[in-house]
Amino acid sequence: MSNPFDLTGKVALVTGGNTGLGQGIALALAEAGADIVSVALSDSDDTVAKVQALGRRAHAISADLTSIEPVERVVQEALAAMGRIDILVNNAGLIRRADAVDFTESDWDLVMNINLKTVFFMSQAVARLFIKQGDGGKIINIASMLSFQGGIRVPSYTASKSGVAGLTKLMANEWAPHRITANAIAPGYFATANTQALREDPVRSAEILGRIPAGRWGEPSDLGGAAVFLASRASDYVQGAILPVDGGWQAR
């Protein structure tokens, strides 16, 4: 029996694939056999080099995903470079922190645009391609612990990630007949640029680590197994799931 986790011959489009969680996911998919298209505002040279070192093809696309303007261009450039797309990972995102009573409209709109609006329209564009290709596809959205909880001082992030969970289920409901699976990974507290301020705050960092049974911050590579599972045929009957990868945060 062939390996159900093997991604050989598949092409994965990963937004925010230049660093952090996105790079960790891209490298895990490449290790499983996938070719990678990394989409990011800043350069993806490091990701491209690491993917190529694994013997896989890699292509970088520069795009500002704070609006949906580049969505169609991204899809067409990925197609031109790789010939097809089989997997979409909607990872690109932003967070802005301020007390809810002081939160600004500009910070609300910026976060909602990239974390939710572009996620939907990128998924729509790729789903249309999957339907045209005729052999299904995999959509993996990056949700959050705040898809389940309220959090503090991150109103637009909480709203957007709650929305990602809902949209993931809607995509599953509508697109399953086309052999498209739509699921999400909900990372816990990971050592990335988004959590740098928290990790550098000794009080807040201690509070967070005190609730994580694993006793440590997650590393980008910790998402790899979940990403490969949801990108592979091993998850063909998994639809609308929001999979926590959190070191046990929710169990506590």
Question: Per the domain annotation, does 250 fall within a domain?
Answer: no
The tokens for 190 are 């990971």
Question: Per the domain annotation, does 2 fall within a domain?
Answer: no
Range of the domain at 176: 11-192+220-244
Q: What sign has the CA pseudo-torsion 49, 50, 55, 59?
A: negative
Q: Domain with 226 in it: what CATH number?
A: 3.40.50.720
Per the structure, how many domains does the chain have?
1
Question: Per the domain annotation, does 215 fall within a domain?
Answer: no
Question: Per the domain annotation, does 208 fall within a domain?
Answer: no
Question: Per the domain annotation, does 210 fall within a domain?
Answer: no
Alpha carbon distance 9, 6 (integer Å): 9
Question: Per the domain annotation, does 224 fall within a domain?
Answer: yes
Mean pLDDT of 29-42: 97
| Strand spans (E) along 77-236 | 87-90, 137-142, 180-187
48-106 pLDDT, tens digit per residue, is 999 999 999 999 999 999 999 999 999 999 999 999 999 999 999 999 999 999 999 99
Angle at 56 between CA 52 and CA 60, to 5 degrees: 65
Residue 124: in which H helix or E strand, if any?
helix 118-133
Give yes or no for a contact between 36 and 29, defined as CB atoms under 8 angstroms apart: yes
206-246 pLDDT, tens digit per residue, is 999 999 999 999 999 999 999 999 999 999 999 999 999 99
Q: Which of 120, 157, 189, 190 is catalytic?
A: 157
Residue 211 three-state SS: helix
**Catalytic status, residue 157:** yes
Question: Per the domain annotation, does 209 fall within a domain?
Answer: no
